[in-house]
Structure 1
């Protein structure tokens, strides 16, 4: 099939690789434009951009797809289908309608739960026991299109967003590969999304990353998991007379009964509104991630509570 691939981050690369290795003709790749990064602020190409160049595929990086020139260029590719995986730009109706078989999107949730920008993080932060990944035929709504092949993914009680991301990245590539094979055979079926159970995965706000220990230990644990490794849930700890920001990357709920924010015992166990969480991996600002034992060895005397 003639395929246009649209994606940007590392999450998208395995799907592009799967499509190429399956023998489809990827006639073009659309990705976000290079951005300044690092100390020197040199422009850095997206992971998808680099992968496409390695495959010898033409790359387009428009800032928008709303203009007539961009839409005409897209239509001229005469694609059978467009595959969209974390692209990052809105697709207007002329783009959605251009490929003969429409645009297929890989979405990281069990729709209609967690439509929107941050489905992986929101599912974990909400304490969901399972999520999934689905191939959806795109329409003009926000993740409202009919659903095709779906994989259900259990969320382990200690699974982080990073771990779920990597699992979805692998499963999603295989799922999209199977979906394209079915489309080529004329046997790819879709189901309209239910009208009940709709939730929205809003983009993570920076203010949400500060831990609120007045919540239950389970809620704090879910926030830590859902924001690990990025952006990282954090709190402040006074060390050597100065407040230091500490990211909590891994934790486990434990028994505890003290005022929220109180440090309990010799390890990094912090009392919550009910119960407590024991931090097992943290990251001090300006430092790399480390286990709690290593952190405590270099931290010196700890205060009675965190903030």
Structure 2
């Protein structure tokens, strides 16, 4: 099948490779332009661009598609059977949605319509969902509103992190899109009108830990937002990143945010507690709690999350 592939981050790479391995004719790849990265702020191509170039597929990186009539004409002239979109990051105008003979198909990292929008992987963990998955969707002009072509799910456990779920769903997306494209037609099922939830883009502030929340909520926050945008708290004047925590059965009457033993057991809301197991001080790498404490003791009674002026 003659295809264009449109994607940018690591999540999209397994699908690109799966389509290539399945023998589809991927005539071009669209990805967001290289961005400054690292200390030198050198332009770094996206993971999808890197993968496409390794496969010998031409890559296009327009800054915008809106009112980009030259790009619309180029895309139309490709005479595509279909386009596959996976976390591309740019909205496709109607002129491009309608150009391929069988339309544009989106690999969406949720069981639609549960999480529409920008961060479905993190949202599922934050909400305490029992399952997540991938939906292959026929794209239309709405935001993740098109007919569902194929879905598969994966169970979420108390140990699921954004990293593990991302990798599971990325691999699943590659498998499902190949399955859909092997079919002679793309019959779709309209999305239900109920259970629709939109999730916004995440920001750094979403990672700030509020110790007055129950420990289970904070545990989900850490698992959902690590490594990006990351979770953090304050320790005196330092901003400390939290890489992992473990829930405990201990209860306490201590004030939320207070360290209650010498191994980083922390009081949370409703008398619950959790133990910080991985953390990072400014200018250092993420480390196990025992290693952190050898370099900086945190005495019982220390209060985390106490805001300093200008924080």
TM-score, structure 2 normalization: 0.93
1:199 corresponding residue in structure 2:
197
Work out whether residues 234 and 245 of structure 1, in 8 Å CA contact, stay in contact via their aligned partners in 2.
yes
Question: Which of 265, 269, 272 is matched with 2:261 structurally?
Answer: 265
The aligned residue for residue 20 of structure 2 is 20
CA contact (8 A) 1:134 1:151 kept: yes
User: How is 1:41-190 mapped onto 2 (pairs within 5 angstroms)?
Assistant: 41-66=41-66, 67-182=68-183, 185-186=184-185, 188-190=186-188
How many residue pairs get matched?
Answer: 300
Unaligned stretches of 5+ residues in structure 1: none
**Structure 1 residue 133: Cα displacement:** 0.8
Distance 1:157 1:14 in 2: 26
CA offset digits 1:71-93 (Å, max 9, x no partner): 00010111100000010101010
Shift, 1:153, TM fit: 1.2
How far 1:301 moved relative to its partner? 4.3
Question: What is the distance in 1 between the residues matched to 2:174 and 2:283?
Answer: 35
Answer yes or no: is the 8 Å Cα contact 2:5–2:30 preserved in 1. Answer: yes
C-alpha contact 1:158 1:252 (8 A) present in aligned 2: no
Q: Using the alignment, how far apart are the partners of 1:285 and 1:227 within structure 2? A: 18
Unpaired stretches in structure 2, ≥5 consecutive residues = 306-311
The C-alpha deviation readout for 1:123-157, integer Å capped at 9, x for no partner, is 11111111111101101111000111111111111
| TM-score of the pair, normalised by structure 1 | 0.95
Q: Tell me which residue corresponds to 1:248.
A: 242
Aligned with residue 290 of structure 1, among 287, 290, 301: 287
Contact preservation (8 Å) 2:266, 2:273: yes
Partner Cα distance (2:155, 2:256) in 1: 31
Deviation at 1:205, TM superposition (A): 2.5
- What is the CA RMSD across the aligned residues, in angstroms? 1.2
* CA-CA distance at 1:195 after TM superposition: 0.2
